[in-house]
Structure 1
């Protein structure tokens, strides 16, 4: 019969319960009887000198930083002469790491923005103490049920620039979230953590890592060379949140937010509905609308054709507060006496004819002379490739009426010129 495993002893700390374990060590929850509170105890089971040094560095780094978004350290116990494993006693935080949450599904944009802001506040404090985390990722950020955030694992934090090359085994960090300069062994700074936090945001919003490959080196090369995919390719998202994340993940350090203050300012500029600090206004742009699916038999509403109105109706519908810069068209008419309505009616009729001619040119003539407008099918229209813009980006911008589409996208109805037009509703079905 196997012997029961003896519970570990941690000095004055009692009732230790293991919360998790890995190749480097384990984490326990215990009770500090003198203060009647829970504490977290991180134990190092690897006794190699390099791991012990990293373990001590984490304790030293955490001791320098006091911030609500960073786990606080209470003490480190153990020395080279001790036979027992060294351990760090730190603040106990009841929450879940983001890598566990993302397995259940993507997070709403407002929740992601809240996580970004709190994490940026904690990193701002670390950077002010010349500490670069270097391993920001979902597994190293915990969130409580109430929304509070804690940054974990400063074990590979640096107080000076890294000097390792791309292929070296000692490049520290996680390739999926590693900045280009970090992967190439170039000097790192606060913008390195901002990049990793941006990749983390991308993962939380889409449920996918932006760069994946078979080997770590390939992933690191993608961080350096491959453009960031658009979040809108995976999920609907407010374009302003997309812009913040894309700036965080810029390949060039100079194109990112230069520090956490700038990042926080960008996050606060978002409306409150997205986790920002700005009040909602009528001009606040909503999330990208979801286009409802129409039944196959549903027909597209016809384009309204200008109707010929009577001279009396046209006269009564004119606004009374015309701009002063425009000539008063009533004065020449007054000189004509009884022929006034005839002149007005003839002018309005001519304008209607011109409008009808222009519409016919746009609808039947294909691409205009200045290449500004392209034909699209009246039903079952599809988004074209370059130079036409992304259909989702156009939709995000607030409609379809001023879109530019390639004439090559016209697959349905191209034989019947009457089925093409240049304006259409966002409620219509999308193909492609």
Structure 2
């Protein structure tokens, strides 16, 4: 694979690692001249229609997410019999590696978990359950910020469940009891897995160990982990309680949303001692609620925005309307000229479609004949 170019755009530079379904490479986007992460479906699965379908589901789910604590997905394609996914390249270290090296202090553990709460809340609001939250799928930047990656088994709620597909997905060391039983997963399943990740950051080990996946799954269903404070007496009771609540066997007894968990983490962060580890000591974790001292400033900003919005609305109402022309099938430069002559601007979004000639407009973002304000931006898929 090294040196190979996928989709006439992504040059493979070196292998970074891999999972059960795919191999991960460092690549170069030759069009935009930037480094990217390229995930290529393993050859033994590329011929399996079911695996290919799951791989494309990953792309569709992950591409709908745009959050600073989620690794962005840029492109998905098929080239030379290989299915690939192109993602943001993040400079950083796997959380699993940092835990193994003992580089996570209490404040870092809380800050990282708070970051992951933000990532999961963004996904859950869009009906997406990660289903595979684990330290291996978290990259921590040199500044200590966490980014969640590998929505490889995430699926939009309503498009199927684990029990429906008869598959038990996720890494067993971090799997929720309901997933271990083959039942459907929801947002609270991700919360349980996030609790196991926090447990491991605080104690240096996963909550359960076993000789095989079946034994591990049974422990998640039946056993209680060794209390966090027995393994690490430095963990305050309030933080241990967060772990215990997140890892409740009964989903109804867990946090009902990651926002609730994030609020508890934000409240206790300031009381944690400054650690001497390289991560977390300079991070600030804040609750979504404003402190009383911030109300006046927030109100002032709100009034400014309201005033600016009123003037902007008045100006907008005086902008004339134009009719959107039909540019589908046109060459890009011709389509751009037609749009500009009608008082419209365009932005280009590239997609892979082998049935359409290169540099031709596949679809336009606004229907031909629509009436819009002059100067409106129109997205062209090419």
TM band (smaller chain): 0.5 to 0.7
Select which of 241, 257, 260 maps to 2:258: 260
Instruction: Determine the C-alpha separation between the residues in 1 that align with 2:208 and 2:2.
Output: 44
Residues 25 and 42 in structure 1, CA contact (< 8 A), matched pair in contact too: yes
Counterpart of 1:137 in structure 2 is 134
1:44 paired to 2:25 = no
Counterpart of 2:297 in structure 1 is none
1:188 paired to 2:179 = no
The structure-2 alpha-carbon separation of the partners of 1:247 and 1:27, relative to structure 1 and needing over 3 Å to count, comes to same
1:71 paired to 2:71 = yes
Residues 162 and 179 in structure 2, CA contact (< 8 A), matched pair in contact too: no
Within 5 Å, give how 1:22-421 maps onto structure 2: 22=19, 24-45=21-42, 46-47=45-46, 48-78=48-78, 83-105=80-102, 107-160=104-157, 162-164=161-163, 170-236=167-233, 237-274=235-272, 276-277=285-286
Deviates most, 19-28 or 124-133: 19-28
Instruction: Determine the C-alpha separation between the residues in 1 that align with 2:62 and 2:3.
Output: 27
Instruction: Determine the C-alpha separation between the residues in 2 that align with 1:257 and 1:147.
Output: 25
* TM-superposed deviation, 1:85: 0.8
1:99 aligned counterpart, secondary structure: helix
Greater relative CO (CA pairs within 8 A, separation 6+) = 2
Instruction: Determine the C-alpha separation between the residues in 2 that align with 1:14 and 1:218.
Output: 42
How many residues are treated as equivalent by the alignment?
269
1:185 aligned counterpart, secondary structure: coil
Q: Deviations over 1:346-385 (max 9, x none)?
A: xxxxxxxxxxxxxxxxxxxxxxxxxxxxxxxxxxxxxxxx
Deviates most, 54-63 or 104-113: 104-113
* TM-superposed deviation, 1:189: 1.2
* TM-superposed deviation, 1:169: 7.4
* TM-superposed deviation, 1:24: 3.1
Gaps of 5+ in 2: 273-283, 288-382
* TM-superposed deviation, 1:95: 1.0
If each structure's strand is expressed as a fraction of its own residues, which one has the higher value? 2
Taking structure 1 as the reference length, the TM-score comes to: 0.59
Deviates most, 153-162 or 209-218: 153-162
Instruction: Determine the C-alpha separation between the residues in 1 that align with 2:170 and 2:18.
Output: 20
Residues 16 and 28 in structure 1, CA contact (< 8 A), matched pair in contact too: yes
Instruction: Determine the C-alpha separation between the residues in 1 that align with 2:172 and 2:269.
Output: 33
Give the greater-gyration-radius structure (CA): 1
Instruction: Determine the C-alpha separation between the residues in 2 that align with 1:158 and 1:72.
Output: 16
The structure-2 alpha-carbon separation of the partners of 1:117 and 1:192, relative to structure 1 and needing over 3 Å to count, comes to same
Q: Deviations over 1:115-165 (max 9, x none)?
A: 111101010010011111111011011101101211111111122363539
Residues 69 and 119 in structure 1, CA contact (< 8 A), matched pair in contact too: yes
Gaps of 5+ in 1: 279-432
* TM-superposed deviation, 1:273: 4.8
Please tell me the root mean square deviation across aligned C-alpha atoms, in Å: 2.1
